[in-house]
Structure 1
Amino acid sequence: MKPVVVRNIKRADPAGMAEYGVSTVHEAYDRLGLMKPYLRPVWAGAAIAGPAVTVLAQPGDNWMIHVAVEQCTKGDILVVGCTTDNTDGMFGELLATSLQARGVQGLIIDAGCRDIRALHEMNFPVWSRAVSAKGTVKATLGSVNVPVVCAGVNVDPGDIIVADDDASWRCRSATRPRSPRRRGADEGGKRKRLASGELGLDMYSMREALAKAGLVYVDNPEDV
């Protein structure tokens, strides 16, 4: 693919998915789209949901992240994939300042990040493959707003991204949810039952299935 910047993309509406979180929406969307667990928040407590602006970058080169800033609008989430594995610190405080000025909610990057304390103080959330102070260059072109692979997941420009302390997740912009709201309400009811002391074994009617699978209860170690 030749280096290219796509200016106009169709952005999906996240429809309040941040309030439900990654675990709930991941289950509601048939357990698809979860990024690899090595992608972790650089500081705890953030929860975001929004459309992806994508970057295909070269390892150790953040030139195209600078290019992508111009294509971002309020509410976007920048998603950066690399052409090969990399953990260099490709993103930090200054780029975050530039993105925050455009109204970008946060960054998902399959590479390294640095300036963690400053990012926390700025309240700019980042999910990254690594934390690394190693500097980068601006020497090789990539692309903006093309399909990328980020942490094992294919991300198209405009796809919905949801990220929180659990993980990062994406769904295709054309995919319809089963109902995160309904699942969230269902989980709220289950939470109350469990808090009252009811066992998951009974709430989920597991006992018969466990017995059929061969699980046996004994009262004494000698009976094993």
Structure 2
Amino acid sequence: MTRDTMGRIDPALIRLYDLPPAPAGVIEMLAAIEAPCELVSDALDDLGFNGVIAGSVLRPTILGSSIVGPAITLRNRLLDIDPFEAARGGHLNRQADFEAHNLTRPGDILVIEGGQEISNLGGISATMAKRQGGLGAVIDGGIRDVRHSRSIGYPIWCNDLTPRTGRWRQETVEINGPVTIRGVAVNPGDIVCADDSGICIIPLYLAEEVAARVATRIVTDQASLDFLASGRPLSEFPRPDPVMYQE
């Protein structure tokens, strides 16, 4: 399916106009957890998938935020051009984050593989995403207008805060194609979980298995908390894992 674009990018560079659907109930179940990333990270470990990015690497702009949703992906590429000469020469803005917002459906999360120490998303862009129902963004690169995005409740996980624009310095080369965020592969429609601890990327083919493992851990973790609240000796603490050392 194609839709009207905003004229910011060649439509052929938009690989998907509609995201593949997530398995029924998975996003809702994970979103109901106050901070899901620890449980999701453990499930991904169990399944042998490297899908975790530390919150100390891509830091949240709004502490306490927790979002879960499908990824809209965007890839930027640095331009080999003098940005000051480009600005004076009236070169066009080649970033196309607005086009990604044009595709955004309520509950989506924007994931950008972008330039470092320059902005991949600013205040107008964040407002556009929020208006479309976007939950937030994960950006391997910089952003600006952080005070504005905070004020409208649009959380962003990124590694650079800078006033320097990305216009003229980079161009968007693909929307809804594969991207790599700090070594983690992200495909459009993959499930993104992000909270204060970091970001987890769940590929769609693992979504149901991850959700099942998370549901089991919720039960076992609650049993552990109930035990600790009971006042019983720690020597009686339940040990679901094999004991590594015995006298």
Assess same fold via TM > 0.5: yes
1:160-180 Cα distance to aligned partner (Å, 9 max, x none): 111111110111112132332
Deviation for aligned residue 1:112: 1.0
For 1:118-129, what aligned pairs fall within 5 Å after superposition?
Answer: 118-129=148-159
Q: Look up the equivalent residue of 1:48 and give its one-letter code.
A: I
Q: Counterpart of 2:77 in structure 1: which amino acid?
A: Q
- When residues 207 and 77 of structure 1 are mapped into structure 2, their CA distance, relative to the original with a 3 A threshold, is closer
Contact 2:105–2:132 (CA under 8 A) maintained in structure 1? yes
Q: Equivalents in 2 of 1:65, 1:99: separation in Å?
A: 9
Q: Please identify, of 132-141 and 16-25, the stretch whose mean Cα deviation from structure 2 is larger.
A: 132-141
**Any conservation in 1 of the 2:119–2:144 contact (CA below 8 Å)?**
yes
1:181 aligns with 2:215: yes
- Counterpart for residue 15 of structure 1: 28
Give the TM-score of the pair, scaled to structure 2: 0.74
TM-score normalised over the length of structure 1: 0.81
**Residues 115-194 of structure 1: pairs in structure 2 closer than 5 A:** 115-138=145-168, 140-175=171-206, 176-177=208-209, 178-194=212-228
> 1:16 is aligned with what amino acid?
M
SS of corresponding position for 2:142 = strand
The answer on whether the counterparts of 2:107 and 2:135 sit within 8 Å (CA) in structure 1 is: yes
Quote the offset at 1:190 in angstroms. Answer: 1.5
Q: 1:69 is matched with which residue?
A: 101
Check conservation: 2:179, 2:185, Cα contact below 8 A.
yes
The CA deviation at 1:49 is 0.5
Contact 1:4 1:143 in 2 (8 A): yes
After TM superposition, give the deviation of residue 186 of structure 1 in Å: 1.6
Q: Is structure 2 residue 133 aligned with structure 1 residue 103?
A: yes
Q: Which runs of 5+ in 2 are unaligned?
A: 1-9, 80-92
Which amino acid in 1 is paired with 2:184? V
Q: 1:194 to 1:89 in 2, by over 3 A?
A: farther
Q: 2:74 aligns with which of 55, 58, 67?
A: 55
CA gap 1:25/1:87 in 2 versus in 1, 3 angstroms: same
In structure 2, give the amino acid aligned to 1:27.
D
1:204 aligns with 2:243: no
Number of corresponding residues: 209
Gapped regions of structure 1 (runs ≥ 5): 213-224
**What percentage of aligned pairs have identical amino acids?**
25
Match of residue 39 from structure 1: 58
2:13 alignment partner, one of 4, 7, 12: 4
Asked whether the 8 Å contact 2:74–2:172 carries over to 1, the reply is no
Secondary structure of the equivalent of 2:63?
coil
> Shift in Å at residue 207 of structure 1?
11
- Match in the other structure for 2:123: 93
Which runs of at least 4 in structure 1 moved beyond 6 Å after TM superposition? Answer: none
Query: In the aligned structure 2, how far is the partner of 1:78 from the partner of 1:208?
Result: 43
8 Å CA contact retained: 1:28, 1:179:
yes
